[in-house]
Amino acid sequence: MAGPLVRRADFLMTLAYATDLATGHSRDFALRSCVLAMRFAEVAGLDENMRRKVYHQALLRYIGCNADTHLLAAAWGDEITLRRELHYIDIGNRAEFVEIFVRAITRKLAGASAEELAKAVEQGLAEGPQVNIPILSGHCEVAQRIAERIGLPEDIRENLGQIYERWDGKGLPRGLSGDAVKFPVRLVTLAQDAIALSDLHGYETMTAKIAERAGGGYETEMAQLFLDHCEQLMVGLDGPVDRETILAIEPLPHAMLDETDCEQAYLAIADMIDMRMPFTFGHSRAVAALAEAAGKRVGLPAADIRAVRWAAYTHDIGELAIPVSTWMRPNALTERETDAARLHPYHGERALSPLGGDGKAVAALVLRHHERLDGSGYHRYAKAPDLSPAARILAAAEAFQTAREARPHRPALSDAAAASKLRGAVREGKLCPDAVEAVLASAGQPARRNAAERPSGLTPREIEVLQLIAAGHTAKEAARRLEIAPKTADNHIQSLYSKIGVTTRAGAALYALERGMIQHGISAA
């Protein structure tokens, strides 16, 4: 197996980026909290082993928070806004806690009568613990399992089983108190609250609130130590924190992941993404299986096949920025929601591109997974020349798999209907015919008739034009030979260039040559 490829801390940052999105935290929240927690650990005189636990707790605290998000959204509506609001309050203070949940129900039932709202609030607050506690327990369990899958040892994982516990026993889900709550858990909770409160209220109010909560949410001595050094601890943390800083503060030893470990880490991310909603369970794994099989079928190099598989595992990581409550609605997205949803490939690229090894290649594919050959995709409106064979396969595999999965606003298509939908997209010049046929064949769909005679979805007329320009004719000459207007010939040329992924006559000629499409007897004269 290949030697070390990626520093594990890079994967932790990818996960941190994703969970910042999913929990409504501000930009670089987990990274900034990691710097603060590590500075605080230094001030507290913690040894290397304890600092290693603090480092991982800060970056990974929320990696289990995607579990059962649909239940949270069903009960309280927009769960990202709810989570954001919870970061700023003292959850041990019942009045503040209740106010946030009343606000969530009010948001969810916008437009309801006062009577309906009052009833829903009463019911929601009565049933809240039965809804929330199992969900939060699930977060802890899933966080520990994901940490195990990325190779983290038991002493780091056990802290992730206490992510919402507090010093005074008013935390969730088990109500642990005092020293039963692990030291790194308590320290990171305080550091993360400090960042969140400082972002919202500014430095002065943050320190006042930390002082208020001493002896409650936080151990008194710990809160006091933090406040004594607060100014120096918080220096520069109102701005972004870069990757190099996080790598530099990682306690030893620095774990490196080889190809097998990376496979496990990418796969763990796939499951983390897909477990937000029942209807996306297994989506990323299924896209990966299709894309990998199709890549092999068309003869992609091994490195491209690996990149496309890893990109398929992680392609929807940016979707964590969109509340599950939005995806669960049976009606169409609003314009604003559509805009936000269309940015998920952007977030995916940002989350993945800092990864070492194949990270950049993976990120480039994730960025393009909703792009279409004719520029009608999103979010960059890339066109054929910018879409590699691997990118075309990922787009086709994703489209096919999505079509055969049910969504709240539509039923699942049968495999045959999904195949016909994809072939329709080929006819419209959106998806690559070679990629689509490779994906469909990999999914056991019968081959399209005449596929061999009409590569890349070219129309018979486009094939004629291609043969002429490949033989050295100009557009004008081709128009004359085919007895069509020069403008029409030009349109055919633009369309066929787009379909076959070239931008020059030479590129088109090579394409025709490679496929045996050159017709002898078409002289350039």
Q: Which of the residues 5 through 34 are near Fe ion (CB under 5 A)?
A: none
Closest separation in Å from C-beta 344 to Fe ion: 6
Q: Which is nearer to Fe ion, 398 or 437 (CB)?
A: 398
| Rounded CA separation 86/100 (Å) | 7
| Rounded CA separation 346/438 (Å) | 27
Q: Which is nearer to Fe ion, 219 or 398 (CB)?
A: 398
Report helix, strand or coil for 123: helix
Q: Which is nearer to Fe ion, 304 or 398 (CB)?
A: 398
> Residue 277 class from Cβ within 10 Å (0-12 exposed, 13-18 middle, 19+ buried)?
buried
Q: Tell me the window of 24-32, 95-103, 309-317, 329-337 that interacts with Fe ion (CB under 5 A).
A: 309-317
Closest separation in Å from C-beta 378 to Fe ion: 9
Closest separation in Å from C-beta 341 to Fe ion: 9
Name every residue whose Cβ is closer than 8 Å to that of residue 338 and which is 6 or more positions away in sequence.
none
Q: Which is nearer to Fe ion, 143 or 403 (CB)?
A: 403
334 phi/psi in degrees, rounded to 5: -75, 170
Question: Residue 335 to residues 323, 339, 340: CA-CA distances in angstroms?
Answer: 15, 6, 9
Q: Tell me the window of 198-206, 308-316, 384-392, 492-500 that interacts with Fe ion (CB under 5 A).
A: 308-316
Q: Which is nearer to Fe ion, 97 or 279 (CB)?
A: 279
Closest separation in Å from C-beta 319 to Fe ion: 6
Q: Which is nearer to Fe ion, 171 or 318 (CB)?
A: 318
- For residue 456, how far is the Cα from the chain centroid? 30
Question: Residue 57 to residues 41, 124, 183: CA-CA distances in angstroms?
Answer: 12, 31, 11
Q: Tell me the window of 63-71, 270-278, 301-309, 394-402 that interacts with Fe ion (CB under 5 A).
A: 394-402
Residue with tokens 């800083």: 245
Closest separation in Å from C-beta 370 to Fe ion: 6
Report helix, strand or coil for 214: strand
Q: Which is nearer to Fe ion, 250 or 316 (CB)?
A: 316
Closest separation in Å from C-beta 375 to Fe ion: 18
| Rounded CA separation 400/442 (Å) | 11
Q: Note whether 464 binds Fe ion by CB under 5 A.
A: no
Q: Tell me the window of 133-141, 152-160, 311-319, 381-389 that interacts with Fe ion (CB under 5 A).
A: 311-319
Site for Fe ion (CB under 5 A): how many residues?
2
String of contacts with Fe ion for each residue 258-297, x by CB under 5 A: ----------------------------------------
Closest separation in Å from C-beta 266 to Fe ion: 15
Q: Which is nearer to Fe ion, 396 or 509 (CB)?
A: 396
In the complex, which residue's CB is closest to Fe ion? 316
Closest separation in Å from C-beta 389 to Fe ion: 19
Q: Tell me the window of 114-122, 314-322, 441-449, 497-505 that interacts with Fe ion (CB under 5 A).
A: 314-322
User: In 443-518, where does DSSP find H-type helix?
Assistant: 460-470, 475-482, 486-500, 505-514
Q: Which is nearer to Fe ion, 316 or 358 (CB)?
A: 316
Closest CA to 101 of 113, 115, 89, 116: 89
Q: Which is nearer to Fe ion, 136 or 391 (CB)?
A: 391
The CA-based angle 45-47-48, given to 5 degrees, is: 135
Q: Which is nearer to Fe ion, 349 or 398 (CB)?
A: 398
Closest separation in Å from C-beta 318 to Fe ion: 8
Closest CA to 206 of 97, 83, 90: 90
What is the separation, in whole angstroms, between the first and last Cα of the chain?
57
| Both structure tokens of 424 | 């329709």
Closest separation in Å from C-beta 402 to Fe ion: 6
Q: Tell me the window of 99-107, 254-262, 396-404, 489-497 that interacts with Fe ion (CB under 5 A).
A: 396-404
Q: Which is nearer to Fe ion, 206 or 317 (CB)?
A: 317
Torsional class of 57: left (φ above 0), alpha (ψ -120 to 50), beta (otherwise): alpha
Q: Tell me the window of 33-41, 196-204, 296-304, 315-323 that interacts with Fe ion (CB under 5 A).
A: 315-323
Closest separation in Å from C-beta 332 to Fe ion: 17
Closest separation in Å from C-beta 347 to Fe ion: 10
User: Looking at this protein, which amino acid is placed at residue 207?
Assistant: T
Closest separation in Å from C-beta 329 to Fe ion: 18
Q: Which is nearer to Fe ion, 6 or 351 (CB)?
A: 351
- With CB under 5 A as the contact rule, the residue among 250, 271, 316, 349 that binds Fe ion is 316
Q: Which is nearer to Fe ion, 300 or 321 (CB)?
A: 321
Closest separation in Å from C-beta 103 to Fe ion: 31
Buried residues in 278-288 as b, exposed as e (16+ CB within 10 A): eebeebbbbbb
| Rounded CA separation 195/32 (Å) | 8
Q: Tell me the window of 182-190, 195-203, 250-258, 392-400 that interacts with Fe ion (CB under 5 A).
A: 392-400
Which of 227-235's residues contact partners 24+ apart within 8 Å by CB, and which partners?
229/40, 229/43, 230/194, 230/203, 232/39, 233/36, 233/39, 233/40, 233/43, 234/36, 234/194, 234/198, 234/203
Q: Tell me the window of 61-69, 269-277, 316-324, 444-452 that interacts with Fe ion (CB under 5 A).
A: 316-324
Residue with tokens 């591109």: 353
User: Looking at this protein, which amino acid is placed at residue 148?
Assistant: E
Site residues for Fe ion per CB under 5 A? 316, 398
